Chain A
Amino acid sequence: GAGVSQSPSNKVTEKGKDVELRCDPISGHTALYWYRQSLGQGLEFLIYFQGNSAPDKSGLPSDRFSAERTGGSVSTLTIQRTQQEDSAVYLCATSGLNYGYTFGSGTRLTVV
């Protein structure tokens, strides 16, 4: 597609429920990144994909967080047993050969 697409744009969930966040990258972008941004804060790295593999998962906050990417395209970030501290905007970014990131519009997650 023309840009990075994320869905849903907003998600309100009850504490303890699982959520799935989706990222559709720009066609041909092999690198995909997930970041988290709490209100008024900076960009917290979560995980990096090159193709379907994730050589860097160092930013995942706990084992409740996981992500996968299939066909070198769509990626899904899953948060199990959500907690209130998981509330944030989750941003996906993809990159081609010129290194620059293109960010999606993000998913605003609210855990109540």
Chain B
Amino acid sequence: GENVEQHPSTLSVQEGDSAVIKCTYSDSASNYFPWYKQELGKRPQLIIDIRSNVGEKKDQRIAVTLNKTAKHFSLHITETQPEDSAVYFCAALLSNDYKLSFGAGTTVTVRA
């Protein structure tokens, strides 16, 4: 199966600064890469995803980039706000698989 590594495990940023979370995957056959945000005590929610036929996708203050050659993808949050504080999980799906492989999560804290 797929193996996804996520870094860093914790990230503290000043409000207004940018946050970047990086994930690497092991199988070049993976073709779908979603990101989930989990606020304290809440369910994980899909915030953005990217498929292997594109290199970058943006939605307001969040963006995801994919480097298929290097087998890594990153989440970028610009102009961070206190409500961005949460745990973020990356995931990858093999083209012939059914089950997302999740990273271990990154706890993001935005300091006011």
Contact = CB atoms under 8 A, between A and B. Distances in A.
Range for the number of chain A residues in contact with chain B: 10 to 19
B111 interface: no
Contacts, number: 41
Nearest to B105: A42
B98 A31 contact: yes
Given A48-B99, A50-B98, A105 B89 contact: no
Nearest to B107: A40
Interface in B43-79: 43-46, 49
B104 A91 contact: no
B25 interface: no
B42 A42 contact: no
Contact of B46 (A50, A56, A102): A102
Interface of B: 32, 34, 36, 42-46, 49, 89, 93, 98-100, 102-105
